[in-house]
Amino acid sequence: MTIHYNDRVAVITGAGHGLGRAHAMLLAARGAKVVVNDLGGQVDGTGADAGAAQSVADEIAADGGTAIANADDIATRTGAENLIRQAHDAWGRVDILINNAGILRDKSFHNMSLDDFETVLKVHLLGSVYCTHAAWPLMRAQSYGRVLMTTSAAGLYGNFGQSNYGAAKMGLIGLMNALKQEGRKYNITVNTLAPVAGTRMGATIFPDEVMPLLRPELVSAAAGYLVSEDCTASGEIIAAGAGYYSRVQVVEGKGVSLDPAGNVTPDLVGEMWDEIIDMDGAAPFEQALDVVQRVFQNLKRD
């Protein structure tokens, strides 16, 4: 298998540094026309510098690839719409969207301002919503699209001091789960990457000695497959970092069925607690309706 993106147009947010830059370089080297988006701010989202996106676009061009820079703020509806419009105006289509842009404003929930909470949600979650919403009609019209969200272990499992970041990152899983259903008949896949990488954001978490093992390019290998024509999977969460790759799923245990016509009390739930939380035989569900069907199937068995 040799994956390429010839004649494909890719939009990558937050591509002026780190993971986004690695994604952009990989796709461009394999034939994609790339829009490199980056506001050029600091890790906390303050400031702006159009030179960040332009520098990566220039680097791609110097390597023989095709790229243009964009410095719009995707945390605004107008900025996201401008970004997608620029890609479409330049090359007539949008095939790949990698929602990678992100910022950090870490504090314990008790000490965090609501401004800091909302700002992080706007970049990670709403920025992904705005960009995807702008690209979606184009992908539907051409019956082809590859959308990649970026989540985090902080969202999947939690991390102290990252309630804003974690909420945004888990919100993207819910967005993916709906869009995988809606995109299916239009040949649009929507997947999510959970990266561990030595980037500007990672530098605040990982010790210096492990940073060389956390090359962003190792994550981009997974991203590159997920946004390729070869990959038809949709609704997948893939963890990637330091050469490690794994599927992540939200699963539900086999549970317990109590008589709905009976007297179900908090005391009874407490008595059954160990059985309720037993994860032996846990399984994922394809859609919300499957959970409802399982509830009623349990009723029939009773």
Provide the annotated active-site residues: 165
Residue 88 has which token pair? 């479409």
CA 63 – CA 225 distance, rounded (Å): 21
Structure tokens at 216: 């962003």
Segments in 32-152 forming alpha helices (H): 51-62, 77-91, 114-121, 127-142
223 near 98, Cβ under 8 Å?
yes
Give dist(CA 242, CA 155) in Å, integer.
20
What 3-state DSSP class applies to 156? helix
Q: Which of 106, 126, 110 is nearest to 166 (CA)?
A: 106
Pairing of strands 33-37, 66-70: parallel
